[in-house]
């Protein structure tokens, strides 16, 4: 049975062929393998011809079971393009190694040291942002704004709870709009968070959930820039807060020593 996300195989009754690979000490090994039958380049069934076979590599899986791995290169006889399929054998049967053939990349705009700070504040923010980025890369434009909005809401709530030390239950149960209003009230105490950027991003995200947009001049790029500005302000605030805490602590210690 073919598993999901195996783009060069379709259907249940796959054609099998026997291949021979030279093993250790010149002992040949014989394997029955399923051959591809669908060309994902042309999006249609096709016939594939085996071109070359790798050597056998013996590896142990997570259960410490010994398996034999090898790869076979095939050529589509229609478009003439080449693919390589990885197989493994447990000495009883040979199966296809299920790779993730999704090559859609994700993007996270913050540097590595900034990522660590944001991860400590909002553990799920990067994961959700990257998933939104993948949705954007796949061209699902009707869902992009809503996805980035969820990343924004996660960061806003976690910042209120973990940085500004607001009540967790109330923060989680409040809407994003209520969260931002609370954050703006705290802004009066000179927290210097870019709440206006977060507000702008939330407007764009809300538009993505409705048929008629209230702010048609604002797009996904504006939203990502606003989220980046807001995230950057959190990082700067966290740096400044840590510096303030250090200064106050050491100033108190010096006073105590006098």
Answer whether 233's CB lies under 8 Å from 197's CB.
yes
pLDDT of residue 46: 94
CA distance 148 to 153: 9
pLDDT tens for 44-96 read: 999 999 999 998 888 877 777 888 889 999 999 999 999 999 999 988 888 88
CB under 8 Å to 6, separation ≥6 — which residues?
96, 98, 99, 101
User: Percent of the chain, pLDDT > 90?
Assistant: 60
pLDDT of residue 115: 95
CA distance 231 to 239: 13
Answer whether 53's CB lies under 8 Å from 4's CB.
no
pLDDT of residue 1: 44
Helix spans in the chain (H):
112-121, 125-137, 141-162, 168-173, 176-187, 195-207, 220-257
Whether 190 shows a pLDDT value over 80: the answer reads: no
CB atoms under 10 Å from CB of 247, counted, come to 10
Average pLDDT over residues 103-111: 86
User: Percent of the chain, pLDDT > 70?
Assistant: 91
């Amino acid at each position: 049975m073919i598993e999901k996300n195996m783009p060069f195989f379709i259907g249940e009754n796959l054609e099998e062929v026997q291949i021979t690979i030279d093993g250790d000490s010149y002992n040949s090994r014989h394997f029955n393998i399923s051959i591809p039958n669908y060309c994902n380049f042309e999006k249609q069934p096709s016939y594939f011809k085996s071109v070359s076979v790798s050597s056998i590599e013996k590896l142990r899986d997570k259960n410490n079971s010994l398996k034999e791995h090898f790869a076979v290169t095939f050529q589509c006889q229609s478009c003439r393009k080449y693919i390589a399929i990885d197989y493994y054998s447990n000495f009883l049967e040979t199966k296809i190694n299920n790779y993730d053939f999704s090559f859609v990349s994700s993007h996270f705009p913050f540097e590595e040291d900034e990522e660590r700070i944001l991860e400590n504040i909002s553990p799920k923010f990067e994961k959700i942002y990257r998933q939104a980025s993948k949705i954007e890369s796949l061209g699902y434009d009707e869902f992009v704004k809503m996805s980035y909005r969820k990343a924004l809401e996660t960061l806003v709530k976690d910042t209120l709870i973990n940085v500004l030390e607001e009540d967790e239950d109330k923060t989680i149960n409040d809407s994003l709009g209520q969260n931002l209003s609370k954050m703006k009230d705290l802004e009066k105490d000179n927290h210097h968070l870019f709440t206006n950027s977060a507000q702008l991003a939330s407007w764009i995200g809300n538009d993505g959930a409705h048929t008629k947009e209230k702010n048609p001049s604002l797009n996904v790029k504006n939203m990502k820039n606003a989220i980046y500005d807001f995230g950057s302000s959190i990082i700067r605030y966290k740096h400044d807060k840590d510096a303030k805490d250090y200064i106050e602590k050491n100033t108190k210690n010096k006073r105590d020593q006098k």
